[in-house]
């Protein structure tokens, strides 16, 4: 089996223990991973703290930091295939998707490489004579970046890139499910020439690794992508060190189609929104809200497309949908589908766990009209689309906002005025109009409500990794008068 190591203080190490990682396509162990525990975490955080305050990194100019990030971007671009194969093997995400996404990850590092020396303070027009007052943007400190297994190199880049541009140091925790690509990425960090301790990459389990990391007294900021349940534990842990947090927590995103939309185009976008990455995406358009007069036609198109999807080995470039990452995720999906159909929803296609090895699940569509469906409220995190219809624009808005989440949304219509009304009315951090899943390093990304707070991407993300220092400089040569002498 392949054997991976942690990356701590500029060196590779095995950690206190090891565990096996399973290939989602076969269910068999294929690699051994280092299990970081409290002592490993403490060593990594202390290395990051030393690098922040004392080492070469602390003395680098912002432009020099940018050049290191640029070198890292080049290395990612040069190693796309190697990283993509690791991610596909360890998570089941198909090679076509991992290759394309990791190639774009290089652009995120390039963007933050260019931004590193654009993070500026300001001179204040202060209301006091004989004073010069200005602000400086300084790194927030040691960052704990906690990344899930899905799209992990992308979700790591939107944390590592802005944090390094701002001058922070990091301890990155890869998920215990599928950590191989991030542990492989550590070799690129090392090759790029970052000073020891600036970026540390570990993996391990929640109680022994995640808890130790998020409550460590030297951690100043926690950047987390995952579920609300884990986020609540992180927020409680951060009470120990009063670390700031940025949380991206997934969603139950509405995909709204009006009758005037191009239904073929909308269907293609909906297939990408829910079946890409086998539905294991925080922005998955998992709730199709369709105007009633267009429902039957759109469902007919979607059923044909779903049943024509090529399911197979994730390393095969002909495959369009691969396995789920874990067996427990597949079991969760099947149980939720069963509860939904038992509540009266109609299965349009799919909905049954296939025979054979691996954790595969077919593209599934459920018509939930007229039911109090669990599928409309709970996140599947899999290739399952729930469908309801609406009569009016106001009803579409009500259905779209009838969720505890608020990460992403899609609106398909040819009416420009309606599109603007929907943009204002939908309570979500991202609204895509006549498109879906578009991202860019230039554009901020994040959610409302239980989808979290803080933004990833753009200048706003880099500023989140800074704190403002205000400097007062007295310009008068006159002595400061005795404050206890009345004049």
Q: How far is CA 326 from the centre of its chain?
A: 18
CATH of domain 2-249+447-472: 3.40.605.10
pTM for this model (two decimals) = 0.95
Q: Calculate mean pLDDT across residues 466-485.
A: 94
Band (pLDDT 50/70/90 cuts) for residue 419 is very high
- Helices marked H in 224-348 — which ranges? 228-238, 263-275, 292-307, 327-342
Q: pLDDT averaged over the chain?
A: 96
Q: For the purposes of burial, counting CB atoms within 10 Å of the CB of 477, is it exposed (0-12), middle (13-18) or buried (19 or more)?
A: exposed
Q: Is the backbone of residue 381 left (phi > 0), alpha (psi -120 to 50) or beta?
A: left
How far apart CA 43 and CA 472 sit, in angstroms, is 37
Residues acting as catalytic residues? 248
| CB distance 350 to 365 below 8 Å | yes
Q: Does the fold of domain 254-433 match that of domain 2-249+447-472? A: no
CATH class of residue range 254-433: alpha beta
Q: Kindly list the domain boundaries of the chain, sorted by start residue.
A: 2-249+447-472, 254-433
Is the pLDDT at 487 greater than 70? The verdict is: no
Q: How far apart are the first and last CA of the chain?
A: 83
* Confidence at residue 1, expressed as pLDDT on a 0 to 100 scale: 87
Q: Using one digit for the tens of pLDDT, what is the confidence trace for 208-250? A: 999 999 999 999 999 999 999 999 999 999 998 999 999 999 8
450 alpha-carbon distance from chain centroid: 15
Identify the pLDDT of residue 373: 83
């Amino acid at each position: 089996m392949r054997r991976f190591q942690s990356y701590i203080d500029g060196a590779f190490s095995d950690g206190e223990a090891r565990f096996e990682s399973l290939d989602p396509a076969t269910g068999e162990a294929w690699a051994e991973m280092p299990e970081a525990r409290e002592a490993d975490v403490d060593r990594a955080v202390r290395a990051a703290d030393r690098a922040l305050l004392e080492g070469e990194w602390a003395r680098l100019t912002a432009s020099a930091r940018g050049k290191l990030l640029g070198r890292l971007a080049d290395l990612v671009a040069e190693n796309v295939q190697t990283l993509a194969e690791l991610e596909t093997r360890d998570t089941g995400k198909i090679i076509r998707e991992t290759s394309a996404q990791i190639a774009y990850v290089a652009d995120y590092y390039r963007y933050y490489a260019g931004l590193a020396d654009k993070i500026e303070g300001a001179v204040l027009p202060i209301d006091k004579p004989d004073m010069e007052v200005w602000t400086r943007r300084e790194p927030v400190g040691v960052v704990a970046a906690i990344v899930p297994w899905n799209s992990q190199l992308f979700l790591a880049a939107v944390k590592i890139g802005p944090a390094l541009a701002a001058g922070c140091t990091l301890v990155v925790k890869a998920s215990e499910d599928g950590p191989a690509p991030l542990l492989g990425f550590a070799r690129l960090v090392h090759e790029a020439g970052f000073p020891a301790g600036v970026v540390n990459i570990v993996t391990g389990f929640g109680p022994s690794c995640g808890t130790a990391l998020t409550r460590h007294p030297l951690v100043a900021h926690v950047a987390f992508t995952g579920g609300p349940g884990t986020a609540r534990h992180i927020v409680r842990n951060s009470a120990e060190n009063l670390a700031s947090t940025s949380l991206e927590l997934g969603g139950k995103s509405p995909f709204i189609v009006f009758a005037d939309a191009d239904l073929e185009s909308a269907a293609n976008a909906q297939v990408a929104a829910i079946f890409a990455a086998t539905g294991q995406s925080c922005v998955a358009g998992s709730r199709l809200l369709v105007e009633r007069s267009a429902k039957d036609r759109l469902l007919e198109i979607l059923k044909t497309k779903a049943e024509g999807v090529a399911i197979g080995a994730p390393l095969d470039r002909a495959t369009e949908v691969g396995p789920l990452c874990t067996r427990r995720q597949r079991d969760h999906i099947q149980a939720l589908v069963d509860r939904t159909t038992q509540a009266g929803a109609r299965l349009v296609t799919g909905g049954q766990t296939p025979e054979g090895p691996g954790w595969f699940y077919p593209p599934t569509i459920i018509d939930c009209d007229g039911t109090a469906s669990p599928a409309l409220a709970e996140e599947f995190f899999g290739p399952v689309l729930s469908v309801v219809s609406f009569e009016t624009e106001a009803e579409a808005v009500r259905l779209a906002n009838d969720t505890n989440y608020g990460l992403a949304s899609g609106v398909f219509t040819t009416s420009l005025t309606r599109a603007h009304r929907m943009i204002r009315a939908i309570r979500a951090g991202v609204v895509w109009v006549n498109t879906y899943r578009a991202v860019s390093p230039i554009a901020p990304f994040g959610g409302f409500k239980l989808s979290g707070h803080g933004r990833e991407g753009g200048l706003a993300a880099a500023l989140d990794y800074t704190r403002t220092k205000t400097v007062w400089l007295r310009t008068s040569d006159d002595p400061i008068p005795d404050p206890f002498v009345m004049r």
